[in-house]
A and B are shown apart, each in its own frame.
Chain A
Amino acid sequence: MASVPWEDELTKRLQDQFGDRILEFSTYLGQNFLVARPEAVIPIIEHLKLEAGFDYLVDVTAVDYPQRPERFDLVYILYSFSRNERVRIKTRIAEGATPPSATGVHLTANWLEREVYDMFGIRFAGHPNMQRILLPEEWQGHPLRKDYPITRQDDRWVQENLGIESAQ
Chain B
Amino acid sequence: MAEATFLDSTELVLNMGPQHPSPHGVRRVILKLDGEKVLGADCVIGYLHRGVEKIGENRTYQQFTPYVDRMDYVAAVSNGLGYCLAVEKLLNIEAPPRAQAVRVILTELNRIASHLVWLGTHALDIGALTPVFYCFREREEVLTVFENYCGARLTTHAFRIGGLQYELYDGFEEQVKAFCDMFLAKVDEYEELLTGNRIWIGRLKGVGILTAEECKAYGVTGPLLRAAGVKWDIRKAQPYSGYDQYEFDIPTGENGDTFDRYKVRLEEMRQSVRIIRQAVDRIPEGPIMGKVPKVIKPPVGEAYVSIEAPKGELGYFVVSDGSPQPYRVRVRPPSFINLQAVDKMVRGGLVADVVAVIGTIDIVLGEVDR
Instruction: List A residues at the B interface (Cβ < 8 Å).
Output: 1, 3, 28-29, 31, 55-59, 61, 63-64, 75, 77, 81, 84, 86, 88, 106-108, 110-112, 115, 119, 132-136, 143-144, 148, 150
B336: A residues at CB distance < 8 A: 111, 115
Kindly list chain A residues whose C-beta atoms are within 8 Å of the C-beta of B299. 1
CA distance A51 to B306 in the complex (A): 25
Write the residues of chain B forming the contact surface with A, with a CB cutoff of 8 angstroms.
45-46, 49, 51, 53-55, 57-58, 89-90, 92, 216-219, 230, 232, 237-238, 299, 301-304, 306, 313, 315, 317, 319, 327-328, 330, 332, 336-337, 340, 369-370
Q: A133 to B46, Cβ gap below 8 A? A: yes
A55/B337 in contact, CB under 8 A: no
Please determine whether B89 and A56 come into contact, CB atoms closer than 8 angstroms: no
- The contact sample of 25 A-B pairs, CB cut-off 8 A, is A3-B301, A28-B302, A29-B92, A29-B303, A31-B303, A56-B216, A58-B304, A58-B313, A58-B315, A59-B315, A59-B317, A61-B317, A75-B330, A107-B218, A108-B219, A108-B337, A108-B340, A112-B337, A132-B46, A134-B369, A135-B49, A143-B51, A143-B54, A150-B51, A150-B55
The CA of A135 and the CA of B22, in the complex, are separated in Å by 23
- Kindly state the separation between the CA atoms of A119 and B218 in the bound complex, as whole angstroms: 21
A148–B219 Cα distance when bound, in Å, is 30
| Other-chain residue from A57, A77, A106, A136 in contact with B46 (beta carbon distance below 8 A) | A136
State which of B45, B55, B232, B327 has its C-beta within 8 Å of the C-beta of A134: B45
Across the two chains, which residue of chain A brings its CB closest to B89? Answer: A29
Contact partner, B49, options A63, A75, A84, A134, Cβ 8 Å: A134
Q: Does B237 lie within 8 Å of A84, measured CB to CB?
A: yes
Expressed in whole angstroms, the Cα–Cα distance for A115 and B336 within the complex equals 11
How far does the Cβ of A47 sit from chain B's closest Cβ, in whole Å? 17
Q: A144, B53: Cβ atoms under 8 Å?
A: yes
Residues of A within 8 A of B58 (CB): 150
Known: A29-B89, A108-B340, A150-B58. A88 touches B218 (CB 8 A): no
CA separation between A110 and B306, bound complex, in Å? 21
Q: Is the CB of A57 within 8 A of B237?
A: no
Closest 3 pairs between A and B when the two form their complex, measured CB to CB: A108-B219, A134-B46, A59-B332
User: Are B332 and A58 interface neighbours, CB within 8 A?
Assistant: yes
Are B317 and A75 in contact (CB-based, < 8 A)? yes
- Given A108-B217, A108-B337, 15 other A-B residues pairs in contact with their CB atoms under 8 A: A1-B92, A1-B301, A28-B302, A57-B219, A58-B219, A58-B304, A58-B332, A59-B315, A59-B330, A61-B330, A77-B332, A107-B219, A119-B53, A148-B54, A150-B54
